[in-house]
Amino acid sequence: MPRIGAFICHCGLNIAATVDVERVAARARAIPGVVHAETYKYFCSQPGQEKIAEAIRSSRLDGVVVAACSPSMHEATFREAAALAGLNPYLVQIANIREQCSWVHSDRETATVKAAALVAAMVAKVRRDQPLEPIRLPVNPRALVIGGGVAGMQAAWDIAEAGHAVVVVEREPNLGGRMAQLSETFPTLDCASCILTPRTAEVARHPRIELLTWSEVREVSGYVGNFSVKIARRPAFVDWDRCIGCMLCQDKCPAPAPIAFEHGMGMGKAIGVSFPQAVPNRPVIRREYCRRFQGRKCQVCAKVCPVGAVDFEQAESCREEKVGAIVVATGFDVMPAAHFGEYGYGEYPDVIDSLAFERLNSSSGPTGGVIRRPSDGRIPREVVFIQCAGSRDPDRGKPYCSKICCMYTAKHAFLYRQKVPDGQAYVFYMDIRAGGKGYEEFVQRTVEQAGAMYLRGRVARVYPEDGRLLVEGVDTLAGTKVEVAADLVVLATAVLPREGARDLARTLKIAADEHGFYSEAHPKLRPVETMTRGIFLAGAAQAPRDIAETVAQASAAAAKALGLLTRGELAADPLVAEVDEARCSGCLVCRHVCPYQAIEPRELAARKVASVNPGLCQGCGACAAICRSGAMGLHGFSDKQVLAEVGAICL
Amino acid sequence: MTAQPRLVGFACRWCSYAGADLAGTSRLEYPASVHLIRVPCSGRVDPAFVIRAFQRGADGVLVAGCHPGDCHYASGNLFARRRFALVKRFLEYLGLEPERFRLEWISAAEGRRFAEVIREMTADLERLGPNRKLREDP
């Protein structure tokens, strides 16, 4: 009989406060085959791991159960510790008595009994474990970055600079993302384009970066180190290889088109680029606004193009890229108008959101950087900024803080006063959250130098009167009602994941939270990894964050991706399926349910049996569940093991 | 501890087991009736596991996986859905109350939902009393 050791962790008081760990250890000792059981404050610590190693050696253990936190936390830790002590790491199992016991039950007696049962189940399981060796897999050294904003560009740049090829997929026709839409950045008031444009140019001409803009990821198959990605490129109706970027087509195009880049503040043309510094500097035709695609006779762009690059027949094209790692940097959207009826957003033209204000403020924007209100082009003398429009509002909006709004609103108020020295900015806020280097100081400058009036309280409604907008709110500090007649109202709308983020999560098989932000593998220790190995996160796709944090996280994601790409070979868990050839009837039902085409028939003497390619098998166990002769086994989750767990729990 | 029903849960490691962990990190209290068995995928769960649990005296069995379309292995939960639709009918045919067996989709973000399902099932099992139908004599 195998000699099992059970190690019951106190996890400080996280477990010990609710579970009587000594009793759990005593119950474990009573299980036949358990030759060692002890408790310790923190088994994950160095001395804790040393205790396990010592017991493995002195008690000659050939199976270890650690009753502690979830296996997603420290399974790897304890397997490594066991391996260092000479025990095969796959002879270690974790009983989850923290997340699934002490943290969710308060009655000490029932929690203790349940913890003991969970330990017994793992003892039953580990007893039926086999020593296994990790599977070696080749790693494709290329990377894919999804998203060409500041996060995606930083990640791509870092990976490329380290010597690896990178494919960048961007949905828009050009790089830049949200940051390209901004005027200045807080707290230094650097011009956003001045920082970003050199970076876009560098990324575009990097010899190891390939740009696929106006493109989307359609399908992802494979696994860490060996992903295969199908990328669709929408038709631009312009042959970009021929195009010389003169933009005569855009100048001469007679069809105006609202382009997303201007966020409702300005018009573009049906053919053209989003902004003059766009990289790649190549136009697309937006069919929904193009006269020719609307059935009219216009062909102006084709006629004026000096190189004959316009191609109305261009179709969607598809390509497949093989990569070893993927960085997801799809960024954010802001909450749409429909949510803000009481502020009249979407109804009154002079109620705009902050992204629109960025465009008004931008020297390359529709007003050339002069702040004019949309309705009549007048320069607003009084501007009301409303923070937390949709954020920190669990009932009607989002419960979370969008994090960047306090700072960009302070920036807006500051810049407004610079441009309109006799103007007055009012800021309605709930709290000012200015955690960051130089952030609080900047907010103070906005109050002191720019004279912005900060009013703590919410706005009840906004309505038009005599060509202005009356803003009714409360000042909760003064305990009074406040009414401001404003020329322009700017809403700091909640940050949301990009449209389509959930679909992409499905395509990539990564998790997203209830709001659609991508979930990191661990909030503290694995902040840029996903639960799917080989896929990493950067920027606001994971949670609202500012540019500085986004860039830092993008570099972190790049470093993690490089840690994988530079290895050449990868060790994968050997928890894969294996056929007992003596029992296999050769029916090959397993082959039909395998999502990875990992099962092939094999000739064996006079008959045919199933055979599993362990490099392709991902260990889902669909084959094991469907096998009628019980020949298909799954290492780590065999029928015998699961049934033994059932037996132990039901004892 | 005879008062507490015994609920055996098979939870896929990617979604439902992680959802149960989230219930833990969120400190959402639910009855200690449930004991989870971690499996790679709901498609790994052999009907024999469910039957065995009832035979060994489980009062209820839960199979929990990723929402359809979200399976880490693309299609495992779809096999589970078909398989357990049949198993459920079979168990009812044998005379087991329908509340004793549930197949649920619980994502890694749905800690609240996990706790809710356990509360509901436990309340149902308390109302039904012990499973005597399939239980083998001890």
pLDDT tens digits for A308-338? 999 999 999 999 999 999 999 999 999 998 8
CA-CA distance, A585 to A176, in Å (whole number)? 58
- For chain A, give the mean pLDDT: 95
Residue range A597-636, pLDDT digits in tens: 899 999 988 899 999 998 889 899 999 999 999 999 999 9
Distance from C-alpha of A554 to C-alpha of A567, rounded to nearest angstrom: 20
Q: Do A646 and B30 touch (CB under 8 A)?
A: no
**Rounded Cα–Cα distance for residues B20 and B106 (Å):** 9
pLDDT digits (tens, 9 = 90+) for A257-295: 998 999 999 999 999 999 988 999 999 999 999 999 999
% of residues, chain B, pLDDT over 90: 87
Report the pLDDT value the prediction gives residue B74, as an integer from 0 to 100. Answer: 82
Q: Region A473-482: what's the mean pLDDT?
A: 95
**CA neighbor of A361 nearest in space, from A123, A183, A104:** A183
Nearest to B44 among A105, A634, A650 (CB): A634
Q: Contact A622/B79, CB-based, under 8 Å?
A: yes
Mutate to test the interface with A, among B1, B2, B34, B35 (most CBs of A within 10 A): B35
Predicted confidence at residue A368, as pLDDT, reads 92
Strand partners, A68: A96
Give the pLDDT confidence of A73-111 residue by residue, as tens digits.
999 999 999 999 999 999 999 999 999 999 999 999 999
DSSP string, A66-96: EEES-HHHHHHHHHHHHHHTTS-GGGEEEEE
Name every chain A residue with its beta carbon within 8 A of the beta carbon of B74.
509, 595
Does B1 score more than 50 pLDDT? Answer: no
Task: Kindly indicate the confidence band of residue A196, based on its pLDDT and cuts at 50, 70 and 90.
Answer: very high
Contact status, residue A92 vs residue A128, Cβ threshold 8 Å: no
DSSP string, A128-177: T-----PEEEE----EEEE--SHHHHHHHHHHHHTT--EEEE-SSSSS-G
The DSSP result for B27-88, as a single string, is T----TTEEEEEES-GGG--HHHHHHHHHTT-SEEEEEEPPTT--TTSSHHHHHHHHHHHHH
Give the model confidence (pLDDT) of B77-93 as tens digits: 999 999 999 999 999 99
Could you tell me the two tokens for A487?
A: 């020329």
Angle between helices A71-84 and A46-58 (to 10 degrees): 50
Distances (CA, A) of A341 to A333, A335, A348, B58: 19, 13, 10, 53
Residue B34: closest CA among A159, A96, A515, A170: A96
A550-591 tens-digit pLDDT: 999 999 999 999 999 999 898 888 999 999 999 999 999 999
Q: What is the pLDDT of residue B2?
A: 47
Closest-CA residue of B relative to A93 is B38
Percentage with pLDDT > 70 across chain A: 100
- Reading the block at residue A431, the tokens are 């709290």
Nearest to A531 among B14, B20, B76 (CB): B14
Segment A175-179 shows an average pLDDT of: 97
From A103, A110, A643, residue closest to B24, measured CB to CB: A103
Q: Do A621 and B40 touch (CB under 8 A)?
A: yes
Amino acid letter, residue A68: A
Q: How many CB pairs under 8 A join A and B?
A: 148
Q: Which of A73, A224, A525, A646 to mutate to test the interface with B (most CBs of B within 10 A)?
A: A646
Question: Exposed, middle or buried by CB within 10 Å (0-12, 13-18, 19+), for B97?
Answer: middle
Q: Decide if pLDDT at A135 tops 80.
A: yes
Nearest residue to A287 via CA among A229, A247, A236: A236
Q: What is the mean pLDDT of residues A33-37?
A: 97
A513 and B109 within 8 Å at the Cβ level: the answer is: yes
Structure confidence at residue A223 (pLDDT): 86
Contacting residues of B for A531, CB less than 8 Å apart:
14, 18, 108
- Which one, of B121, B21, B114, lies nearest residue B61 by Cα? B121
B49 with A643: Cβ contact below 8 A = yes
Confidence bin at B3 (pLDDT 50/70/90): low
**Which two structure tokens, joined as six digits, stand for A455?**
């009013």
Nearest Cα residue in chain A from B30? A104
State whether A622 and B41 contact (CB < 8 Å): yes
Helix (H), strand (E) counts: chain A = 16, 34
Residue holding tokens 């876009």?
A: A200
Instruction: Among B21, B25, B59, B100, pick the best mutation site for testing chain A contact (most A Cβ within 10 A).
Output: B21
Strand locations in A164-291, DSSP E?
Answer: 166-169, 184-185, 190-191, 209-212, 215-223, 226-233, 256-258, 267-269, 271-272, 284-285
The confidence score (pLDDT) of residue A340 equals: 86
Choose among A62, A82, A17, A68: nearest CA to A40.
Answer: A68
- Chain B environment of A113 (Cβ under 8 Å): 1, 32
Tell me: ipTM over 0.95: yes
Q: Is A252 exposed, middle or buried (0-12, 13-18, 19+ CB in 10 A)?
A: middle
Integer CA distances (angstroms), A125 to A60, A312, A636, A638, A646, in order = 19, 64, 8, 9, 10
Question: What residue type is B85 in one-letter code?
Answer: A
CA distance B93 to chain A (A): 22
Name which of B6, B37, B40 is nearest A645 (Cβ-Cβ). Answer: B37
- Spell out which residues of chain A touch residue B72, defining contact as CB-CB under 8 Å: 509, 532, 620
pLDDT, residue A281, reads: 94
- Phi, psi values for residue A608, rounded to 5°: -110, 135
A506-534: per-residue pLDDT in tens? 899 888 888 999 999 888 889 999 988 89
List, for residues B5-50, the tens digit of each pLDDT value. 999 999 999 999 999 999 999 999 999 999 999 999 999 999 999 9
Contact list in A for residue B115 (CB cut-off 8 A) is 104
Give the closest of B27, B35, B40 to A117, CB-based: B35
State how far residue B35 is from chain A, nearest Cα, in angstroms: 7
Rounded to whole angstroms, the Cα distance separating A253 from A270 reads: 7
Q: Distance from first CA to last CA of chain B, Å, rounded? A: 17
Residue of chain B whose alpha carbon sits nearest to that of A519? B109
Structure tokens at A193: 């384009």
Nearest chain B residue to A530 by CA: give it.
B14
- Helix (H), strand (E) at residue A462: strand A459-465
Are B27 and A104 in contact (CB < 8 Å)? yes
Contact A370, A418 (CB under 8 A): no
Which tens digits make up the pLDDT trace of A40-75? 999 999 999 999 999 999 999 999 999 999 999 999
Pairing of strands A468-475, A480-486: antiparallel
Question: How many Å lie between the alpha carbon of A194 and the closest alpha carbon of chain B?
Answer: 40
pLDDT tens-digit readout, A13-33: 999 999 999 999 999 999 999
Min Cα distance B136 → chain A (Å) is: 12
Nearest to B76 among A506, A620, A634 (CB): A620
Closest residue in A to B44 (Cα–Cα): A621
pLDDT at B138: 65
Please tell me whether residue A453 adopts helix, strand or coil conformation. Answer: strand
SS3 A429: strand
